[in-house]
């Protein structure tokens, strides 16, 4: 069985592949022709086996592959190997080499709707049932796949790929080489509201308790005058949501990668080269520094900031700001050192509790002996 998601019409000599990924070719297999990539057990004679873990290296013994990519220092009998220092980096280069681009021929589909005031660059593809609003600018070589919506006065840079079902609101600014995956929402109205008198949330923050009659309270919507700005080389996952800013734009820095099902609230400022993993939620006006990692299902409360090069671990509930190079964990979230200290205190407390019980028993026995 081979990977049908890769283009089987492409073929490269093993020596050509080695030159691209910068490895060490250890056997006389320079002329082996490679047409596909696959794990060892699914590989045939025309396949380059990807053996980048201990399990997959062991599976090479059962593989039909004549060639494999392996970590540095691994040698396999009867198989030509390319040793690489960073296997996942090599795999990335290989997948780009064999990747089949989406089917998006240049031109505007007859069932697409492009406002006559929009500016469309060269070699642009606009798929069926897509809508491009008035005053939009679509850069050269950008692809809008079927069923995409681009609101008025939005600018999209060059070489972008907008997948089906993406909705981009009015006045958004999208940089170059941006990928937005299926069903993402960019520039929806922010979740921003106000009451005439202090409500339960404000009362709780100020007084630490909730007292009073709130039965007649009415909630008023605050509309978003801002939009969203996305830097170059950003990727946004399927069904992610990035809301518009209230007055100024919500911003996503250059090179940041956002996973599926992420929620980024209004007025957030996300730095460059961040990694934001699935189901992360950022409340309004959160500031995230450069190169921050937000692990799965963590949440950051409104108006807090996370310093550059920090890691927020999975499911952390962040209710305060943290400086740069922090490692944060827990609910409520604390620095990892503090979290470990808390765990030790709990463990020690359990131990001390047993010791106290034993001492009480001894005291009772001493009392009985009087």
Tens digit of each residue's pLDDT (9 = 90 or more) over 227-266: 999 999 999 999 999 999 999 999 999 999 999 999 999 9
Beta strands 334-335 and 327-329, pairing class: antiparallel
Nearest Cα residue to 138 out of 153, 147, 146: 153
Indicate if 153 and 76 belong to the same structural domain. no
Tens digit of each residue's pLDDT (9 = 90 or more) over 82-125: 999 999 999 999 999 999 889 999 999 999 999 999 999 999 99
Tens digit of each residue's pLDDT (9 = 90 or more) over 132-181: 999 999 999 999 999 999 999 999 999 999 999 999 999 999 999 999 99
Cis before 332? omega within 30: yes
Last residue of a domain, one of 98, 126, 158: 98
Last residue of a domain, one of 98, 126, 141: 98
* 156 located within any domain: yes
Last residue of a domain, one of 71, 98, 125: 98
* 7 located within any domain: no
Gap between the Cα atoms of 120 and 95, Å rounded: 31
Contact indicator for 221, 243 with CB cutoff of 8 Å: no
Beta strands 287-288 and 305-306, pairing class: parallel
Q: How confident is the model at residue 6 (pLDDT cuts 50, 70, 90)?
A: very low
* 233 located within any domain: yes
Strand, coil or helix: 103: coil
Indicate if 45 and 114 belong to the same structural domain. no
Tens digit of each residue's pLDDT (9 = 90 or more) over 48-92: 999 999 999 999 999 999 999 999 999 888 899 999 999 999 999
* 82 located within any domain: yes
Find the largest Cα–Cα distance for the chain: 103
Indicate if 118 and 202 belong to the same structural domain. yes
Nearest Cα residue to 156 out of 178, 188, 128, 183: 178
Question: Nearest-5° angle of CA 363, CA 369, CA 370?
Answer: 100
Among 19, 163, 266, 352, the one annotated catalytic: 266
Indicate if 57 and 141 belong to the same structural domain. no
Indicate if 367 and 271 belong to the same structural domain. no
Indicate if 79 and 111 belong to the same structural domain. no
Indicate if 285 and 266 belong to the same structural domain. yes
Nearest Cα residue to 50 out of 27, 10, 81: 81
Tens digit of each residue's pLDDT (9 = 90 or more) over 329-361: 999 988 988 888 877 877 777 777 777 887 887
β-bridge mates for residue 37, sequence order: 48
CA distances from 238 to 65, 159, 235, 315 (A): 35, 19, 10, 20
* 307 located within any domain: yes
Question: Domain residues for 350?
Answer: 337-370
Tens digit of each residue's pLDDT (9 = 90 or more) over 282-324: 999 999 999 999 999 999 999 999 999 999 999 999 999 999 9
Contact indicator for 43, 84 with CB cutoff of 8 Å: no
| Predicted local confidence at residue 370, as pLDDT | 60
Residues in the chain: 370
Strand, coil or helix: 336: helix
Residue 128 has pLDDT above 90, yes or no: yes
Gap between the Cα atoms of 287 and 304, Å rounded: 6
The pTM is what?
A: 0.86
Indicate if 181 and 208 belong to the same structural domain. yes
Indicate if 152 and 290 belong to the same structural domain. yes
| Predicted local confidence at residue 349, as pLDDT | 75
Residue 166's CATH number: 2.160.10.10
Nearest Cα residue to 333 out of 320, 344, 348, 352: 320
Strand, coil or helix: 86: coil
Indicate if 211 and 231 belong to the same structural domain. yes
Is 266 in the active site? Answer: yes
* 216 located within any domain: yes
What's the total number of domains in the chain? Answer: 3
Q: Give the lowest-confidence range in 43-52, 96-105, 197-206, 271-280.
A: 197-206
* 315 located within any domain: yes
| Predicted local confidence at residue 13, as pLDDT | 94
Residue 71's CATH number: 3.40.1390.10
Residue 2 has pLDDT above 50, yes or no: no
Residue 191 has pLDDT above 90, yes or no: yes
Question: Nearest-5° angle of CA 21, CA 27, CA 33?
Answer: 65
Gap between the Cα atoms of 98 and 113, Å rounded: 34
β-bridge mates for residue 12, sequence order: 34
Indicate if 244 and 187 belong to the same structural domain. yes
Indicate if 242 and 150 belong to the same structural domain. yes
């Amino acid at each position: 069985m081979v990977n049908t998601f890769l283009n089987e019409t492409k073929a490269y000599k093993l020596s050509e592949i080695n030159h691209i990924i910068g490895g060490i070719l250890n056997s006389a297999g320079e002329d082996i022709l490679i047409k596909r990539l696959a794990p060892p057990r699914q590989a045939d004679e025309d396949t380059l086996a990807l053996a980048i873990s201990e399990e997959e290296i062991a599976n090479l013994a059962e593989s039909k592959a004549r060639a494999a990519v392996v970590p540095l220092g691994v040698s396999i009998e009867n198989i030509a190997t390319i040793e690489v220092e960073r296997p996942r980096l090599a795999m990335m280069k290989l997948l780009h080499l064999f990747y089949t681009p989406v089917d998006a021929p240049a031109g505007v589909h007859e069932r697409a709707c492009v406002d006559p005031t929009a500016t469309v660059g060269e070699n642009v593809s606009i798929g069926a049932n897509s809508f491009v609003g008035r005053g939009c600018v679509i850069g050269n070589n950008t692809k809008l796949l079927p069923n995409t919506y681009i609101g008025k006065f939005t600018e999209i840079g060059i070489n972008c790929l907008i997948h089906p079902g993406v909705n981009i609101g009015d006045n958004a600014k999208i940089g170059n080489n941006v990928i937005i995956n299926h069903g993402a929402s960019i520039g929806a109205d922010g979740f921003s509201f106000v009451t005439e008198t202090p409500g339960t949330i404000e009362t709780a923050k100020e007084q630490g308790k909730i007292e009073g009659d709130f039965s007649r309270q009415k909630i008023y919507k605050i509309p978003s005058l801002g939009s969203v700005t996305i830097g170059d080389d950003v990727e946004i996952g399927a069904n992610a949501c990035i809301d518009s800013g209230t007055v100024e734009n919500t911003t996503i820095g250059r090179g940041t990668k956002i996973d599926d099902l992420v929620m980024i609230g209004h007025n957030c400022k996300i730095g460059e080269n961040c990694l934001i993993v699935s189901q992360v939620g950022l409340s309004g006006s959160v500031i995230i520094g450069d190169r921050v990692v937000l692990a799965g299902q963590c949440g950051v409360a409104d108006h807090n900031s996370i310093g550059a090069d920090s890691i927020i671990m999975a499911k952390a509930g962040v209710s305060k700001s943290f400086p740069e190079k922090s490692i944060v964990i827990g609910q409520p979230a604390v620095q990892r050192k503090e979290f470990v200290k808390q765990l030790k205190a709990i463990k020690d407390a359990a131990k001390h509790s047993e010791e106290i019980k034993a001492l009480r028993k001894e005291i009772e026995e001493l009392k009985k002996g009087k």
